[in-house]
Amino acid sequence: MAIAFPCIISTGKYVPERLVTNQDIERILGEPVDEWLRENVGIEQRYFLKEGQTTSDLIVEAARAALAKSGLSAGEMDLLICSTDTPDWISPATASVVLAKLGAGNTPGFDINNACAGWVSSLDLAARRIMTDPDMQYIMVAGGYAMSRFLDMHDKYTATLFADGAGVVILSRTDKQCWLGSSFQSFNDSCNALGVFIGGATRPATPENIQQFGPPSVKFAKKIPGGFNREHWPALMRDACKQAGVALEDVNHFYFTQLNLRTIQAVMKDINQPISKTHWIMDKYGYTGSGCLPMTLDDAMEQGRGPKPGDLVLFTASGGGIAMASSLWKWPDGNGIRG
């Protein structure tokens, strides 16, 4: 039997309708943040869930966009891998809710929580599944983020950054090698530096714990050294490229975690690559965690700045844990890519 390889055939994204500008955040905080955010982070606005919306709703809309571009139906998906650390419920998986809302029948699915590195981790897992399971024709890989549900709007260190959104890609089988390699790294001593530290088994969201610690909200509990991503991303990316026998300068498109534009600019300078090889969306969407990388890819495609057949595409992400992941892909040639 011939070896099958995975390729990306479609993309989609979705953000909710509730626009929150830097000026809106200023009014809540009672202090100026707009100028600092624009100059130091690159964020100008973001979108929050409206009342009644949840993470699965965002992923469903992004999935519908990707399905429409692909010409496929939800029922044709063989698997959904859903990356999120803001699930609808602690249990069961948000993937099950998404599949039910899509009307995907008994399509299997599951969640991955690797914080904001989760979508790249999920992409790697989906690639390996296609290569090892002949029954996998189409896999949907989703990243969903609804961190506005876990924001203390009076904490300027988090309320200014985090936002809501979802992105999806659909993978298919091909006879050409499009997935070229992935690299992972963790700094587990910082496992409790950033996260939502109430609501799990360690500290359940009981009335007593909420009274003592406050409601579940995302917090920087420990200081993360400045320049952390800038220091570690290049080696991680080089390792992914090494697996394919290519160099960083061979990569045509670099897509990064969309937390800080200045970091992205600095990394591109450090690796001696032109800024035109990357794309960013944090200026208009804020930081959307697990959803930001597929959202960035979809946005680039929509603007005509996305990958062309044969291009090398490198996804690199960081998240709480601290977890990092990088995955290198070759854009499919003659596979009807839709983005």
- Domains of the chain: residue spans and CATH: 5-175 (3.40.47.10)
pLDDT at 336: 41
For residue 255, what are the contacts with CB-CB under 8 A and spacing of at least 6?
278, 279, 293, 296, 297, 300, 313, 314, 315, 316
Q: Determine the pLDDT at residue 334.
A: 61
DSSP 3-state of 214: coil
Amino acid at residue number 283: D
Extract the tokens encoding 222.
Answer: 């420990």
Helices 94-102/55-70 angle, 10° precision: 50
Classify residue 188 by its DSSP letter: G
Please say whether the beta carbons of 292 and 165 come within 8 A: yes
- Please tell me the distance from the alpha carbon of residue 279 to that of residue 198, in angstroms, as a whole number: 35
The Cα–Cα gap between 295 and 285 comes to 9
pLDDT digits (tens, 9 = 90+) for 283-309: 999 999 999 999 999 999 999 999 999
> What mean pLDDT is reported for the chain?
93
DSSP-assigned states of every residue in 142-173 = EEEEEGGGG--TT-HHHHTTB-EEEEEEEEEE
Q: Can you read off the two tokens belonging to residue 264?
A: 């992205």
Distance CA 122, CA 94 (A): 14
- Cα distance between residue 269 and residue 99, in whole Å: 42
What pairing do the DSSP bridges indicate for beta strands 138-146 and 164-174?
antiparallel
Tokens of 214: 């406050």
Instruction: Write the single-letter amino acid at 231.
Output: E
pTM: 0.94
**What tens-digit pLDDT sequence spans the chain (339 residues)?**
567 899 999 999 999 999 999 999 999 999 999 999 999 999 999 999 999 999 999 999 999 999 999 999 999 999 999 999 999 999 999 999 999 999 999 999 999 999 999 999 999 999 999 999 999 999 999 999 999 999 999 999 999 999 999 999 999 998 889 999 999 999 888 888 788 888 888 898 899 988 888 888 888 877 777 788 999 999 999 999 999 999 999 999 999 999 999 999 999 999 999 999 999 999 999 999 999 999 999 999 999 999 999 999 999 999 988 999 999 999 998 644 444
The angle, 0 to 180 degrees and rounded to 10, between the axes of the packed helices 261-270 and 228-244 is: 50
- According to DSSP, the β-strands at 179-186 and 323-330 are antiparallel
Contact 317, 233 (CB under 8 A): no
The model's pLDDT over 209-255, given as tens digits with 9 standing for 90+, comes to 888 888 888 888 777 777 889 999 999 999 999 999 999 999 999 99
Q: How does DSSP assign 282-324, residue by residue?
A: HHHH-B-GGGHHHHHHHHHHHTT-S--TT-EEEEEEEETTTEE
Q: Which of 38, 266, 50, 15 is nearest to 160 (CA)?
A: 38
d(C-alpha 245, C-alpha 5), whole Å:
18
pLDDT at 251: 98
What the block records as the tokens of 218 is: 């995302």
